[in-house]
Amino acid sequence: MKKIFCTIILLIVVLSTFAQHEGGIANEEKNVFMQKQWRVRVFAGYSIGGTAPLPLPREIRGINGYNPGFGYRLGVAVQKLFNGSRWGVETGLYLENKGMTTYADTKNYHMEAWNSDGKVVGAFTGKVKTKVDNKYLTLPLLCTYDASVRWSFSAGAYFSYLLDGEFAGRAYDGYIRDQNPTGEKADVTRAYYSFGDDLRKFHWGLQAGCEYRFYNKVAASASLQWGMNSIFHSGFGSVTFDLYPIYATLGLTYLL
Amino acid sequence: MYLVSIFLVLLHILRINTVMNKNLLLYALLVALLFPSCIRDEALNSECDIIDVDSEWLDSVGSAIIGKPIISNYTVVFVVKEGVDASLFTPRFILTKGAKIMKDSISYNGESGVVQHYTTYSEDGKWSKRYDVYYNASTIISKDKVFDFEHYALDNTGRYNVWFEVDEYGTQRNIWASGNAGYAFTGQGDTAADFPTAANENGVSGSCVKLTTSDTGIFGQLAGMPIAAGNIFLGEFNSGSAMKEPLRATRFGVQMVPAKPLYIKGYYKYKSGEVFTDKSKKVVPEKRDTCAIYSVLFEVDPENPVPLNGENVTSSERIVLIAELKNHVESDEWVEFEIPYEYINNKQFDYDRVANNGYAITFVASSSKGGDFFEGAVGSTLYVDEVTIVWEDK
């Protein structure tokens, strides 16, 4: 929680420095925008982030590589301002993708995996490559605040439905011990895994963001989504810690 | 956290022309502060292995111990000179970093063997393991030994069968090995009877060994080992290389040769599986599975014996004599076999070598002849019982 709090403070600091630079949008336009009670925008953005355990478990001894992959968000947002107020509410629908590839070193990483007739249980020490590529349909519920004609902020929650998910990778250059750290030891050059079928369908989290309007109808946007439940079903044994998607999205919005 | 930092930096780059540059320094500092908190302190070791025997200790006991100790996951085996009382030995073991060891008790293994029992404890205190340390006399196979597969037990994890022999002094000798420990990694097999190598009640007399070519499930397939043939052999199975170099996991041969072997005899019962598949589990319709039953006598350096493995067990230049079942019969009834040893590699049997312990012998049975290379038919079943190596009486 402390980390979440720090992040929010940081965001506010960063955004407030930007907010000081308010250029000139003609007064007439300003009024049109500010007085519009219903705003409908479409947007497209690039997402970068990670699906990570927090804090990192002690079994993970190092991160050797990270590739954000091609994360995108396409969406439509409907905003309603309260009468005569800078405050409003917003919802919408996003088609988004949260992915990454990581390369990690592990020590005694407990793993369980089911197959048709049995269950593999072991402790793996070595290298693990993980590729996550999850496609979601997301509904946000946000409060908004117009700080100025150029700047507006939003914060709230989001609810996602998994359309298509991949969580796969390989374990390599290490060894596995049967059942637990005292079991028979076998060197592993390469073993593949895929847990896409065990991903949770419904997922939710917190979202905060801002927009900077640099033309009348066009704005740059940035937002952060912080997952509040693990991407796997609870009780899923193959990955014994919870993995939370934490993704930032940068993009452009267009006011219809 | 560093993801958040990346985000902040990207955000900054977007606006870099209008925001003062000194802010960039501020964010760089934040990134530096947040980043290292990700990787946590290393946990204490959970493993508690006997890795080696201290060489100074081995030197100190001198010739009382012959050759190198054999260390596996739950046992250490020393071969001692006849007449040496090993019960007072206090070997120094090299353990996993931070692990501790306690001597629990001593028991006797027949007339000539001593077993010391130890428990090792991991550095983090969460795991422990019981080790049996054997001190065996250097006996050889007695000439009238019949391998009847009556002596078997469950492995230390209680999942599959392991076989041993009892020598003329009543000492338990773990000279049989199988690939069961490798199969255990696949998660297949609910009971010992489901493993590729299993004890079976319906022997020629008493129990026999049942070898079944089995599917290794999705994990075996992902590891490039789609099937596992049931196998049993005189030697050791090194599960350490089971996934990496499976042909090297089977270490064939025991240094227990009393004389020149003349022929092997015994009983088998074989039925091949319906669908023959290759290494990538592709069906090969024209092929029918065959079993393997053979025995090989080969030369070893008495002090530093190197076993044969899956790559060279029938092709090594060290092989002197080989006896191999050539034309197998498929039957529901026991079939008796008697196969003479034949010379290969232009070698002759050397009686001086026998006296110097310079030969090793193995006997191998497998439910699929191509099992080493993961070729065979799931369901091929080979029963073997009452195997005897008939030695020259001289």
- Give the DSSP H or E segment for A6: helix A2-19
d(CA A66, CA A84): 47
- Output B56 or A4, whichever has higher pLDDT: B56
In the prediction, which pLDDT does B378 show?
A: 95
Tens digit of each residue's pLDDT (9 = 90 or more) over A19-46 = 444 444 555 555 566 667 889 999 999 9
Helix B22-34 vs helix B2-14: angle between axes, to the nearest 10 degrees? Answer: 170
Contact B222 A193 (CB under 8 A): yes
Which residues fall within 8 angstroms of residue B29, CB to CB, at 6 or more apart?
none
Residues paired with residue A60 on neighbouring β-strands, in sequence order: A106
Same structural domain for residues B29 and B161? no
List the single residue in A50, A119, A187 with the smallest CB-CB distance to B187.
A119
List the single residue in A10, A18, A178 with the smallest CB-CB distance to B185.
A178
Same structural domain for residues B48 and B75? yes
Contact A14 B27 (CB under 8 A): yes
Does residue A211 have a pLDDT over 90? Answer: yes
What are the φ and ψ backbone dihedral angles of B238, each rounded to 5 degrees? -100, 95
Q: Is the peptide bond before B246 cis (omega within 30 degrees of 0)?
A: no
**Closest chain B residue to A105, measured at CA:** B39
The letter for the amino acid at B205 is S
In the prediction, which pLDDT does B224 show?
A: 81
In the prediction, which pLDDT does A226 show?
A: 94
- Domain with B17 in it: 2-37
Chain A residues touching residue B240 (CB < 8 angstroms): 175, 185-187
Tens digit of each residue's pLDDT (9 = 90 or more) over A54-100 = 778 888 888 888 888 889 999 999 999 988 788 999 999 999 999 99
d(CA B117, CA B156): 14
Instruction: Please choose, from the candidates A245, A70, A51, A54, the residue with its C-alpha nearest in 3D space to the C-alpha of residue B34.
Output: A54
d(CA B350, CA B230): 34
Contact A21 B19 (CB under 8 A): yes
Which residues fall within 8 angstroms of residue B211, CB to CB, at 6 or more apart?
B196, B197, B229, B230, B231, B232, B291, B365, B366, B367, B381, B382, B383, B384
A-B Cβ pairs (cutoff 8 Å, strict): 154
Contact predicate B258/B354, CB 8 Å: yes
The answer to whether B218 faces chain A, any CB pair under 8 Å, is yes
Same structural domain for residues B97 and B164? no
d(CA B275, CA B169): 47
The answer to whether B51 faces chain A, any CB pair under 8 Å, is no
Contact A222 B48 (CB under 8 A): no
Same structural domain for residues B28 and B62? no
Same structural domain for residues B284 and B369? yes
Same structural domain for residues B354 and B220? yes
d(CA A225, CA A228): 9
Same structural domain for residues B118 and B154? no
What are the φ and ψ backbone dihedral angles of B182, each rounded to 5 degrees? -70, -40
Same structural domain for residues B352 and B240? yes
Contact A176 B185 (CB under 8 A): yes
ipTM of this complex prediction, to 2 decimal places: 0.73
| Domain C-terminal end among B138, B163, B182 | B138
**Closest chain A residue to B121, measured at CA:** A182
Under-50 pLDDT residues of chain B: 1-37
d(CA A92, CA B369): 64
**Closest chain A residue to B45, measured at CA:** A108
Contact A115 B217 (CB under 8 A): yes
Same structural domain for residues B186 and B333? yes
Residues written for chain A: 256
Same structural domain for residues B290 and B195? yes
In the prediction, which pLDDT does B250 show?
A: 92
The distance from CA A73 to its chain's CA centroid, rounded to whole angstroms, is 11
In the prediction, which pLDDT does B261 show?
A: 95
Q: Would you call B23 helix, strand, or coil by DSSP? A: helix
Cα separations (Å) of A109 from A57, A97, A241, B177, B225? 9, 28, 10, 29, 23
Same structural domain for residues B29 and B102? no
Tens digit of each residue's pLDDT (9 = 90 or more) over A164-192 = 999 988 888 899 898 889 998 888 877 77
Contact predicate B209/B193, CB 8 Å: no
Chain B residues touching residue A22 (CB < 8 angstroms): none
In the prediction, which pLDDT does B46 show?
A: 92
For the segment A114-136, the average pLDDT, to the nearest whole number, is 83
Which residues fall within 8 angstroms of residue B190, CB to CB, at 6 or more apart?
A117, A118
In the prediction, which pLDDT does B12 show?
A: 45
Contact A58 B40 (CB under 8 A): yes
Chain B residues touching residue A208 (CB < 8 angstroms): none
| Domain C-terminal end among B85, B119, B138 | B138
d(CA B188, CA B195): 8
Domains in chain B, number: 3
CATH code for the domain in which residue B134 is found: 2.60.40.2340
Same structural domain for residues B189 and B52? no
In the prediction, which pLDDT does A43 show?
A: 93
Site from B2, B4, B244 to mutate, A interface, most A CB atoms within 10 angstroms: B4
Chain A residues touching residue B3 (CB < 8 angstroms): 48-50, 52, 246-248
d(CA B324, CA B307): 19
Site from A1, A14, A173, A213 to mutate, B interface, most B CB atoms within 10 angstroms: A14
Residues A2-255, CATH architecture: Beta Barrel (2.40)
Question: Closest Cα of chain B to A30: distance in Å?
Answer: 22
Question: Closest Cα of chain A to B121: distance in Å?
Answer: 10
Rounded-to-10 torsion of CA A226, A231, A236, A242: -20
Domain spans, chain A: 2-255
Residue in this structure with the two tokens 């099992």, named with its chain if needed: B371
Burial A160-177, CB ≥16 within 10 A → b, else e = bebeebebebbbeebbbb
Question: Closest Cα of chain A to B356: distance in Å?
Answer: 34
pLDDT band at A161 (very low <50, low <70, confident <90, very high): very high
Question: Closest Cα of chain A to B217: distance in Å?
Answer: 7
Question: Closest Cα of chain B to A83: distance in Å?
Answer: 32
